[in-house]
A and B are shown apart, each in its own frame.
Chain A
């Protein structure tokens, strides 16, 4: 490097660029998908709200649905759909990108592991990025819901942190799992088919789970999406104090739901950090 003039050694931080540096990488890496993902994140809610909110909702409302719910069907499913979307985005980013791009094929995380950035910082950055993306998808969804006239209180804005937390409650344990997998096999397919999709169908998204048999309702307790949906409805419709009870939640129950999201999210995050450290230090 006879031409070399720029010295960087004195500017290198012994502790490295940390989480911020990895987030910068995520931003640059995801920038090229932004058009496609923004477009799909705009189109999906339009389709869902048209089909289910306006179409199916029209039938339901006409048959007394709006009366028995105390609010339009669209405004009933909207908070749940926001939570479900965040969950899907979160789980998506906690699977293929981590195993394939990170550890297995491109091995990008091993490149990062050779720098001052620690495995813990790397794992935290990945989870933070997942949270950002889930929050972003929720925000777009909420904006579309607003366009459909589905927002009935300012409290609906609180759907964003709730949906994001709901996404993390499932995405962080799955991120830990992805960091542990040597081979994908069919694992990710199974997760989407037998975890994410049933969760979407049986977590009170489209109807109150009180209409389900007792044993299915017990299963809902295992679903972070149900807890997120209950909370999202509470903040969106609770302020209306509907006589039908839709959107009402006692304070202790709200805390219980919150704990059912916080605890798995935090445990999952610890597990992810641990699995990243193990995988990078071999």
Chain B
């Protein structure tokens, strides 16, 4: 569906996307994970056939965005990072005019809009203006809007950023349904839980480059341990304590407020720590996540 080779995007002297290779297969859920400024959104805008490629090659649905922009865009659905609904129009009108941009006749749009409103759980707000809607509702409307043309690929740029946990879960549920209908999803996120929930396969991006690729499970297995023991010794102590427990773990990561011990068995590690007479203020054991993968690969946290 999408094939990128040496894909590069520069703005003046700044290289936002630096020769990345990736491909996305039909029906797949593919994610770009990385912190803000990693080049995810620039990549998405190139896939969306709006931002010209600086160098390298990009094929979307077998077509070249440089020459077939409108034809490609006619088969994509796009959920941008910032909602760009017309907030002074009603929910229904937003969907209607969007359908018109794709050349879909009005008589077909009416039943289609009813179905999309149902899907987005916005049926009772159809005649309401967009302005007073909650962030979650606006997001669901943006997603409904992106489906007006039955897209083959749905591009979602930070779909749940800025939403409260409940709104995020509703949104994830809707995206799951789309995935089950066979829609190819391509999304960017800096939330590891979102990537784990939604992506079959993902690439980790940092400073415009792809630093790792695989399924969430593969990435965790390759770049982190099975479990992580988190120890808090107090702000000034972490550095010192790291040296004393270094041999108990595959790897120790020192964060501002805590130590992360990458181990196979967290409880055993915690016991070993206390046997040495070390008493952390608090400790916990959790499964390793994509956050740990990112930390291992880049030495930095995803969310700052």
Residues of A at the B interface (CB closer than 8 Å) are 1-9, 11-18, 20-22, 24-25, 28-29, 32, 101, 106-108, 110-118, 280-282
Q: Please give me the residue from chain B that is nearest to A112 by CB atom.
A: B101
Is there contact, CB below 8 Å, between A280 and B98?
no
Is there contact, CB below 8 Å, between A22 and B101?
yes
Which of the residues A8, A32, A118 comes within 8 Å of B112, measured between beta carbons? A8
Q: Knowing A8-B148, A8-B150, A9-B149 touch, does A21 contact B115 (C-beta < 8 A)?
A: no
Q: How many interface residues does B have (CB within 8 Å)?
A: 50
- Contact bitstring B264-283, A, C-beta under 8 A = 1, else 0: 00000000000000000000
Interface centre among A29, A106, A280 (most CB of B within 10 A): A106
Q: Please give me the residue from chain B that is nearest to A22 by CB atom.
A: B101
Measured CB to CB, the closest approach of chain A to B74, in angstroms, equals 4
Stretch of B21-29, B46-54, B226-234, B291-299 lying at the A interface: B46-54
- Contact bitstring B34-54, A, C-beta under 8 A = 1, else 0: 000000000001001011100
Is there contact, CB below 8 Å, between A29 and B86?
yes
Measured CB to CB, the closest approach of chain A to B133, in angstroms, equals 14
**B residues 179-216 touching A (CB-CB < 8 Å):** 181
Is there contact, CB below 8 Å, between B101 and A106?
no
Which residues of A are found within 8 Å of B162, using beta-carbon distances?
A: none
Q: Please give me the residue from chain A that is nearest to B82 by CB atom.
A: A107
- Contact bitstring B104-128, A, C-beta under 8 A = 1, else 0: 1100110110011011000000000
Closest 8 CB pairs of A and B: A13-B103, A9-B150, A115-B101, A111-B84, A116-B70, A107-B84, A21-B100, A114-B78
Which of the residues B80, B88, B102 comes within 8 Å of A17, measured between beta carbons? B102
Which residues of B are found within 8 Å of A12, using beta-carbon distances?
A: 74-75, 102-104, 149-150
Which residues of B are found within 8 Å of A7, using beta-carbon distances?
A: 150
Measured CB to CB, the closest approach of chain A to B286, in angstroms, equals 36
**B residues 84-98 touching A (CB-CB < 8 Å):** 84-89, 93, 96-98
- Contact bitstring B1-42, A, C-beta under 8 A = 1, else 0: 000000000010000000000000000000000000000000
Which residues of B are found within 8 Å of A13, using beta-carbon distances?
A: 74, 102-103
Is there contact, CB below 8 Å, between B50 and A113?
yes
Is there contact, CB below 8 Å, between B70 and A21?
no
Which residues of A are found within 8 Å of B103, using beta-carbon distances?
A: 11-13, 15-18, 21, 116
Is there contact, CB below 8 Å, between B98 and A111?
yes
B99 within 8 A of A: yes
Is there contact, CB below 8 Å, between A11 and B75?
no
Which residues of B are found within 8 Å of A6, using beta-carbon distances?
A: 108, 111-112, 115
Q: Once bound together, how far apart are the Cα atoms of A164 and B104, in whole Å? A: 32
Is there contact, CB below 8 Å, between B104 and A14?
no
Measured CB to CB, the closest approach of chain A to B69, in angstroms, equals 7
Is there contact, CB below 8 Å, between B52 and A115?
no
Q: Once bound together, how far apart are the Cα atoms of A108 and B83, in whole Å? A: 9
Which residues of A are found within 8 Å of B74, using beta-carbon distances?
A: 12-16, 115-116
Q: Knowing A8-B150, A110-B84 touch, does A16 contact B111 (C-beta < 8 A)?
A: no
Is there contact, CB below 8 Å, between A25 and B177?
no
B73 within 8 A of A: yes
B76 within 8 A of A: yes
Q: List 27 A-B contacts (CB under 8 A).
A: A1-B115, A1-B119, A1-B181, A6-B111, A6-B112, A8-B102, A8-B148, A8-B149, A9-B152, A12-B74, A17-B100, A17-B101, A21-B100, A21-B101, A25-B86, A101-B86, A106-B87, A108-B84, A108-B85, A108-B86, A111-B80, A111-B98, A115-B98, A116-B70, A116-B101, A118-B69, A281-B52
Which residues of B are found within 8 Å of A18, using beta-carbon distances?
A: 103
Is there contact, CB below 8 Å, between B78 and A4?
no
B284 within 8 A of A: no
Is there contact, CB below 8 Å, between B97 and A116?
no
Which residues of A are found within 8 Å of B177, using beta-carbon distances?
A: 1-2
Which residues of B are found within 8 Å of A282, using beta-carbon distances?
A: 11, 45, 51
Q: Knowing A1-B119, A12-B74, A12-B104 touch, does A21 contact B48 (C-beta < 8 A)?
A: no
Measured CB to CB, the closest approach of chain B to A111, in angstroms, equals 4
A24-B100, A106-B87, A110-B84 known, 11 other contacts, Cβ within 8 Å: A2-B177, A3-B115, A9-B152, A15-B74, A17-B100, A22-B101, A29-B88, A108-B84, A116-B70, A116-B74, A118-B70
Q: Once bound together, how far apart are the Cα atoms of A281 and B53, in whole Å? A: 10
Which residues of A are found within 8 Å of B69, using beta-carbon distances?
A: 118
Q: Once bound together, how far apart are the Cα atoms of A117 and B74, in whole Å? A: 9
Q: Once bound together, how far apart are the Cα atoms of A1 and B144, in whole Å? A: 10
Which residues of B are found within 8 Å of A20, using beta-carbon distances?
A: 100
Q: Once bound together, how far apart are the Cα atoms of A131 and B181, in whole Å? A: 45
